[in-house]
Structure 1
Amino acid sequence: MAPIVLADEFVKQTKDWNRKKVLVNISSGAAKILIMAGQPIAVLRRGWKCLHGVAGLEQDKMSFPTSLISFSPGVMDTEMQGTIRSADERDFADRDKFHEYKEKGILRSPEFVADKLLQLLEAEDLENGKFYDIKNLL
């Protein structure tokens, strides 16, 4: 609930600012695909995707809109990946898929992903409310 309140307050406090304003929800593939044992995160990610989409449409009608976008960084080499790979298969049925990501070397570094996000934010043609996937920015 706190991210919703913070986003709403940011939009209210900056509604008269005539400059580029962007709120980015760092999402994941869980917003688009179902992952076994990933119900809580999938619900949150899908909810944020929907919220940013609707809020983005509303903001487009404002004099000085705030852009609200979702960004999926794809699979990254993070501590969470390590935790998933070390999980018991009974607790995380898709665990082997995460081992495969590591073995095939398809995990992206956080630095690479951050660079792609910065490039996206510097673009002049951000579509308000859009879900951006790093795969489409490569």
Structure 2
Amino acid sequence: MTASTPSHAPACAIVTGHTRGLGAALADLLLARGIRVLGLGRGTNPALAARHGEALVQAVVDLADPAALERWLATDALRSFTGEARCVLLFNNAGTVDPIAPCGAQDAGAIARAVTLNVAAPLMLANAIAAPGAAANPEAERRIVHVSSGAARNAYSGWSIYCATKAALDHHARAVALDAPHGVRICSVAPGVVDTGMQATIRATGIEQFPLRERFEQLKQNGQLATPETAALQLIDYALSDAFGSTPTADVRELVKT
């Protein structure tokens, strides 16, 4: 896999959940490469703004509120941000692992929030990016990266909602690849097990809700969790590579570097 900024740079990127964890690392590394970033989330990232100035644009949008996202998409903010960029990247990173519990013991509101944040928001943003005229430059290539998970491809007790929502992103990417919208590449990419706040949530969950908790505790204790920076670098390198979009689903741990 050869990673480089596409020949049709300059590029810009939209990153959801850019205030912490993997999203913050994605935004930081993209900005360090000279790629402008639009961060979408419930809050802002002052540290990133202080380091990167006007190259970082931030929009406060609750992605778990479909009406709020719909209102934001109805504005000219997305098209205005893209400017004359010849490559527009979308990293659908924001997500939640809650509710963690067996079916029958899950909070209904938490289910609705997870499905909206993990599925509806990424699909709404992907649709907006893929639409003709979404970018100010009519020749701009659009690359959509769904941040997936091993849970999309393997079932885990206590994670029925998380597994289902991540699997939805994988299947969405497969179907969009069949649609083959002009100028659009898409891939749902699993970044490996990353040391983020989500992992802390998992380790704080009771065994009765998540029987595999001990496995994730051991990964932390043995130093086997990828750092957000390492995972972000792999995702960005792949998103910018010529290979991106050649398959609708991928796992960074299985990508062959050339």
Q: TM-score range by the shorter chain?
A: 0.7 to 0.9
User: Which residue of structure 2 lines up, in the alignment, with residue 4 of structure 1?
Assistant: 123
Q: CA deviation at 1:87?
A: 1.5
Q: CA deviation at 1:58?
A: 1.0
Q: Which structure shows the bigger proportion of residues in strand conformation?
A: 2
1:57 corresponds to which of 172, 178, 182: 178
1:95 corresponds to which of 198, 206, 213: 213
Cα 1:23/1:127, change in 2 over 3 Å = closer
Stretches (4+) displaced over 2 A: 13-20
Does the CA-based 8 Å contact 1:55-1:129 persist in structure 2?
A: no
Partners of 1:87 and 1:112 in 2: how far apart?
Answer: 26
Cα 1:127/1:2, change in 2 over 3 Å = closer
Can you list the C-alpha shifts for 1:88-130, whole angstroms capped at 9, x where unaligned? 1111111011011112211000000111111101211223552
Moved more, 103-112 or 127-136: 127-136
Moved more, 128-137 or 115-124: 128-137
Partners of 2:247 and 2:127 in 1: how far apart?
Answer: 14
Q: Which structure shows the bigger proportion of residues in helix conformation?
A: 1
Give the residue type in structure 2 aligned to 1:50. Answer: H
Partners of 2:178 and 2:139 in 1: how far apart?
Answer: 18
Partners of 2:202 and 2:243 in 1: how far apart?
Answer: 36
User: Which residue of structure 1 lines up, in the alignment, with residue 251 of structure 2?
Assistant: 133
User: Which residue of structure 2 lines up, in the alignment, with residue 47 of structure 1?
Assistant: 168
Normalised by the length of structure 1, the TM-score is: 0.88
Where does structure 2 lack aligned partners over 5 or more consecutive residues? 1-119
1:82 corresponds to which of 180, 188, 200: 200
Give the alignment's Cα RMSD to 1 decimal: 1.9
Does the CA-based 8 Å contact 2:170-2:249 persist in structure 1?
A: yes
Where does structure 1 lack aligned partners over 5 or more consecutive residues? none
User: Which residue of structure 2 lines up, in the alignment, with residue 116 of structure 1?
Assistant: 234
**Percent identical:** 25
Ranked by relative contact order (alpha carbons within 8 Å, sequence separation 6 or more), the top structure is 1
